[in-house]
Chain A
Amino acid sequence: DVKVTQSSRYLVKRTGEKVFLECVQDMDHENMFWYRQDPGLGLRLIYFSYDVKMKEKGDIPEGYSVSREKKERFSLILESASTNQTSMYLCASRRAMSPLEQYFGPGTRLTVT
């Protein structure tokens, strides 16, 4: 079974703090993704990486950065957390070629106060 793990299930941070969200997958997948989920807005893609040290902006990259130094690990960084970044953050991974199913981690509920 594919396993995608995220470093924290719940996180509370203060405005202005630097926040690191870690994601690890154990299936040697090439592609990894970071999404945020907000009520009424669905899943919005923040960044994705199709290989080690590669990164691409998604639909809402502002205020975020990412790092992928190893194939299994994809980190999301909030440089200076703001209250509008309070959200559920979801990491996903998949193989580069078919099948196209993305496998998601359990999510991190981040609250910025």
Chain B
Amino acid sequence: DQQVKQNSPSLSVQEGRISILNCDYTNSMFDYFLWYKKYPAEGPTFLISISSIKDKNEDGRFTVFLNKSAKHLSLHIVPSQPGDSAVYFCAASDIRNSGNTPLVFGKGTRLSVIA
């Protein structure tokens, strides 16, 4: 049973527009969330994170929003650039038990930014 779901396997966006990637989770114990970006033939790289005490975290063109009541988070990329084309993974953890517990990953969303 998937605890972290990314229901859109792929997304296409025009350059300069906003990209919105969505992620839903089922485990109410999750209180820390992360986004990773992965290019082909490379390992994932950490992008941005958010703790459940916040509902928004911003880093340059990237903003993550967290809606705890809906168990939903989203990653906004504004403006989108061709170099943002990659697979994006959402991940979650329960900080209180995090010491020896792996992150739980979604299956990823492939973003294509079209010039």
A102 within 8 A of B: yes
CA distance A105 to B38 in the complex (A): 11
Min CB gap A110→B, angstroms: 13
Min CB gap B102→A, angstroms: 5
Chain A residues lying within 8 Å of B108, measured Cβ to Cβ, are 42-43
Please tell me which one of the listed residues B43, B95, B106 contacts residue A98 in the complex, with CB atoms under 8 A apart: B95
Please tell me which one of the listed residues A45, A92, A96 contacts residue B100 in the complex, with CB atoms under 8 A apart: A96
Q: Which of A22-41 contact B (CB under 8 A)?
A: 31, 33, 37, 40-41
Residue contact B32 to A43, C-beta cutoff 8 Å = no
CB 8 Å contact bits of B16-35 with A (1 = contact, 0 = none): 00000000000000001010
Min CB gap A25→B, angstroms: 12
Per DSSP, chain B at the interface is mixed
Min CB gap B89→A, angstroms: 6
Chain B residues lying within 8 Å of A98, measured Cβ to Cβ, are 95, 98
CA distance A106 to B46 in the complex (A): 13
CB 8 Å contact bits of A78-113 with B (1 = contact, 0 = none): 000000000010101000111111111111010000
Chain A residues lying within 8 Å of B98, measured Cβ to Cβ, are 97-98, 100
Residue contact A42 to B102, C-beta cutoff 8 Å = no
CA distance A105 to B42 in the complex (A): 8
B53 within 8 A of A: no
| Chain A residue with the shortest CB-CB distance to B94 | A100
A4 within 8 A of B: yes
Task: In the A-B complex, list the 9 residue pairs whose CB atoms are closest, starting with the nearest.
Answer: A104-B43, A42-B107, A50-B100, A43-B105, A101-B46, A96-B99, A104-B44, A42-B108, A106-B43
Interfacial residues, chain B to chain A (CB-CB below 8 A): 9, 32, 34, 36, 38, 41-46, 49, 89, 93, 95, 98-100, 102-103, 105-108
Interfacial residues, chain A to chain B (CB-CB below 8 A): 4, 9, 31, 33, 37, 40-43, 45, 48, 50, 56, 58, 88, 90, 92, 96-107, 109
* Other 4 A-B pairs with CB < 8 A, given A96-B100, A100-B49: A41-B107, A42-B108, A97-B99, A105-B43
